Structure 1
Amino acid sequence: MPPSHRPSRTGAAAVTLSAALCLSLTTALPSACAQSAVPSSPETAGTPPTPALASVPLPGKVVYAQLTTPDLAKAKTFYGGLLGWTFQDRPVSGGHYAEALVNGHVVAGLVERRLPEGSNPPRPIWLPFISATDVPALAKSSRQWGAKIIFRPTDIPGRGEQAIIADPQGALFAPLRRPHGDPQDTDATVQGDWIWNALLTPAPSASAGFYQKLFGYRVEAAPAPDSAQRYILESQSTARATVNPLPARLPANARARWLSFVQVDSVGSAAEKAVQLGGRVLVEPHPDHQNSMIAIIADPAGAAFGIMEWHDPIATGDTK
Structure 2
Amino acid sequence: MPFAPGVPCWFDVTAPDIPATADFYRGLFDWTAENTGPDSGHYTVLKQDGAQVAGIASTTNPDGSTKPAVWLPYFAVENAPATAAAAQGAGATVFVEPTDVFGQLEFGILADPDGAAYGICHLKSHPGTERWGAVGNPCWVEYSATGAPADSMAHYAKVLGWTYRNAAWETATVNPYQALSVGAGDEFGGAHTAQPGEPAPFWAMTIHVTDADETAARAVRLGGSVVQEPQDLPGPSRVGVLADPAGATFGVMAFGG
Q: TM-score, normalised by structure 1?
A: 0.72
Stretches of structure 2 lacking an aligned partner (at least 5 in a row): none
The letter for the 1-side match of 2:139 is I
Provide the rounded CA distance (Å) in 2 between the counterparts of 1:123 and 1:154.
21
**Which residue is 1:238 aligned to?**
186
3-state SS, counterpart of residue 140 of structure 2: strand
Task: Give RMSD over aligned pairs.
Answer: 2.6
Stretches of structure 1 lacking an aligned partner (at least 5 in a row): 1-54, 314-320
**Which residue is 1:219 aligned to?**
164
The question of whether the paired residues in 1 share the 8 Å contact of 2:98 and 2:107 is answered with yes
CA separation of 1:78/1:93 partners in 2, compared to 1, >3 Å: closer, same or farther? Answer: same
3-state SS, counterpart of residue 5 of structure 2: coil
CA separation of 1:228/1:206 partners in 2, compared to 1, >3 Å: closer, same or farther? Answer: closer
The question of whether the paired residues in 2 share the 8 Å contact of 1:101 and 1:107 is answered with yes
The question of whether the paired residues in 2 share the 8 Å contact of 1:295 and 1:308 is answered with yes
- Pick aligned residue for 1:197 from 141, 146, 159: 141
Offset, 1:64: 0.9
Q: Which has the higher strand share?
A: 2
Provide the rounded CA distance (Å) in 1 between the counterparts of 2:78 and 2:160.
9
**Paired residue total:** 251
- Following superposition of structure 1 onto structure 2, how do residues 296-307 of structure 1 map, counting pairs within 5 Å? 296-307=241-252
Provide the rounded CA distance (Å) in 1 between the counterparts of 2:67 and 2:59.
12
Comparing 153-162 with 282-291, which one deviates more in the overlay? Answer: 153-162
**Which residue is 1:13 aligned to?**
none
Provide the rounded CA distance (Å) in 2 between the counterparts of 1:171 and 1:128.
11
Provide the rounded CA distance (Å) in 1 between the counterparts of 2:129 and 2:227.
32
Percent identity for Structure 1 against Structure 2: 27
The question of whether the paired residues in 1 share the 8 Å contact of 2:52 and 2:130 is answered with no
Provide the rounded CA distance (Å) in 1 between the counterparts of 2:127 and 2:163.
19
- Pick aligned residue for 2:23 from 55, 63, 77: 77
**Which residue is 1:228 aligned to?**
175
Offset, 1:206: 2.2
**Which residue is 1:270 aligned to?**
215
CA separation of 1:178/1:94 partners in 2, compared to 1, >3 Å: closer, same or farther? Answer: closer
The question of whether the paired residues in 1 share the 8 Å contact of 2:103 and 2:125 is answered with no
The question of whether the paired residues in 2 share the 8 Å contact of 1:58 and 1:182 is answered with no
The question of whether the paired residues in 1 share the 8 Å contact of 2:70 and 2:248 is answered with yes
The letter for the 2-side match of 1:83 is F
- Following superposition of structure 1 onto structure 2, how do residues 35-54 of structure 1 map, counting pairs within 5 Å? none
3-state SS, counterpart of residue 38 of structure 2: coil
| 2:87 paired with 1:176 | no
**Which residue is 1:259 aligned to?**
204
Offset, 1:180: 4.5
* 1:41-83, Cα deviation, whole Å (9 max, x unpaired): xxxxxxxxxxxxxx55411111110111001111011100001
Comparing 203-212 with 126-135, which one deviates more in the overlay? Answer: 203-212
**Which residue is 1:33 aligned to?**
none
Provide the rounded CA distance (Å) in 2 between the counterparts of 1:97 and 1:180.
17
Provide the rounded CA distance (Å) in 1 between the counterparts of 2:43 and 2:255.
31
Offset, 1:190: 3.1
The question of whether the paired residues in 2 share the 8 Å contact of 1:82 and 1:274 is answered with yes
3-state SS, counterpart of residue 239 of structure 1: coil
Q: Which has the higher contact order (CA 8 A, sep 6+)?
A: 1
Comparing 79-88 with 213-222, which one deviates more in the overlay? Answer: 213-222
Q: TM-score, normalised by structure 2?
A: 0.89
The structure whose Rg is larger is: 1
The letter for the 1-side match of 2:21 is A
**Which residue is 1:109 aligned to?**
55
Offset, 1:97: 1.7
Provide the rounded CA distance (Å) in 1 between the counterparts of 2:175 and 2:87.
26
